[in-house]
Amino acid sequence: MDDELEHNRQAMHAVFAEDGYAGEIGARLTDWGGGWSRVELTVAAGHANFAGLLHGGVTFGLGDAAFAVASNSWGRLSVALSVDVQFLGTVPPGTALVATARERHRTKRTGAYLIEVRSCPDGGPSSDTEEPLIGSLHALVHRTDRWLLGDDAWSDHWRETH
């Protein structure tokens, strides 16, 4: 079953890499699979708000980029219905941030996701749960009838089950 996702992986990765906003904030897609993703960025001076702290929009934007990849990773075009975000911390410029998105529930029409944004002071996390939590997002998508890469890229069986 995952063979079909693997077959389309390179083309899907190219679609995700073209996210203009993620590129603008410096987010990099580092890994993904069916229902999950990992996106990173290094905090720059331009990511600060007027108080000199990490702008909440950067935390949200990084989490949203991870959410977009995870929710679209099965190939079905998915669009956000709602996102609830909690801003839990801040970090200085030069700090690496990692957003991980994980699917919690998926039906033909909706999907629910938990996205965590963590700091990695040494440039890389030792695990997904040991580093300080900077933001937490709970998100819901609408899964459309449209398929990324077109219907022909996915078998009838894949489209029926995903």
Token pair for 97: 């941030």
Instruction: Specify the pLDDT at position 121.
Output: 64
- Which tokens belong to 106? 């998926």
Specify the residue for token string 């073209």: 18
What pLDDT is stored for residue 126 in this prediction?
47
Q: What is the DSSP string of 42-69?
A: E--GGGB-TTSSBPHHHHHHHHHHHHHH
> Strand runs (DSSP E) across the chain, as ranges?
28-33, 36-42, 76-87, 96-106, 110-120, 133-147
d(CA 35, CA 87): 24
Handedness of CA 117, 118, 123, 124 (dihedral sign): negative
Domain ranges within the chain, ordered by starting residue:
2-161
In CATH terms, the superfamily for domain 2-161 is Hotdog Thioesterase (3.10.129.10)
CA distances from 96 to 113, 151, 156 (A): 22, 38, 41
Rounded to an integer, what distance in angstroms lies between the CA atom of residue 143 and that of residue 79? 7
Say if residues 119 and 132 touch (Cβ distance below 8 Å): yes
pLDDT value at residue 129: 57
The DSSP element (H or E) to which 11 belongs, if any, is helix 2-17
- pLDDT one digit per residue (tens) for the chain, 162 residues: 468 888 888 999 899 989 999 999 999 999 999 999 999 999 999 999 999 999 999 999 999 999 999 999 999 999 999 999 999 999 999 999 999 999 999 999 999 999 999 998 665 544 555 789 999 999 999 999 999 999 899 999 999 989
- DSSP letters, 117-131, are EEEETTSS-SSTTTS
Q: What is the pLDDT of residue 122?
A: 61
